[in-house]
Amino acid sequence: MQTVTLSNGVNMPIIGIGLWQVNDAQQAEDSVYEALMAGYRLIDTAAGYLNEEAVGRAIKRSGIPREEIFVTTKIWVQDAGYESAKRAFEKSLKKLQLDYLDLYLIHQPFGDYYGTWRAMEELYREGLIRAIGVSNFLPDRLMDLAQVVLRWLVQRNIVVIPKSVRKERIIENFNIFDFELDADDMERIKTLDTGNTLFLSYHDPEVAKMMGSWKVDL
């Protein structure tokens, strides 16, 4: 089977069987089973497809060693967030009857996908997922990642002072000197500027009024 090598060195089969809109459980199981018998070794499902249990049964039914099958599933929007993502992962693993996933994806760029990503990073470090990634993310969402933004600012000789109380994030925020954005990336990120603040607008009279009413004991 021809494979492609992911950024972390994991090999992923170049062709697989997809389960989107295969709502009938028996049909989903039979489709995966027949695909495995035909030589497929990549299965793509998702919590939102509602057929993870069928996929698990098909894998077990096939008798093919687990390490020969590359299983991908995805976390749905309603489970976005650090704690929710951890629970969703355990649920998917149980439905698939597996001990680990080969690839776990954020299905859609909605909700707290930053928290979801932190959870996925931890699961990856624990060896429960061989590779992590995103699905259906357009470039503007991907360019929103903290390290890329920090690198973009540093390359423009702008001092950056990111706040974090998590050891992992503190280290990540500092590890921006081993890569460089090319000219095209620098220009593309610049176009994302809407000209509006994401925080407090000091042109807003209500904000000015609120700031003036704050009292701090020094």
Active site residues: 49
The CA angle 133-137-141, to the nearest 5 degrees, is 105
Pick from 92, 73, 188: which is nearest to 130 by CA?
A: 73
Dihedral, CA of residue 172, residue 177, residue 178 and residue 183, to nearest 10? 110
User: How far from chain centre, in Å, is Cα 43?
Assistant: 18
- Amino acid code (one letter) for 214: W
Query: Both ends of the chain: CA-CA distance in Å?
Result: 67
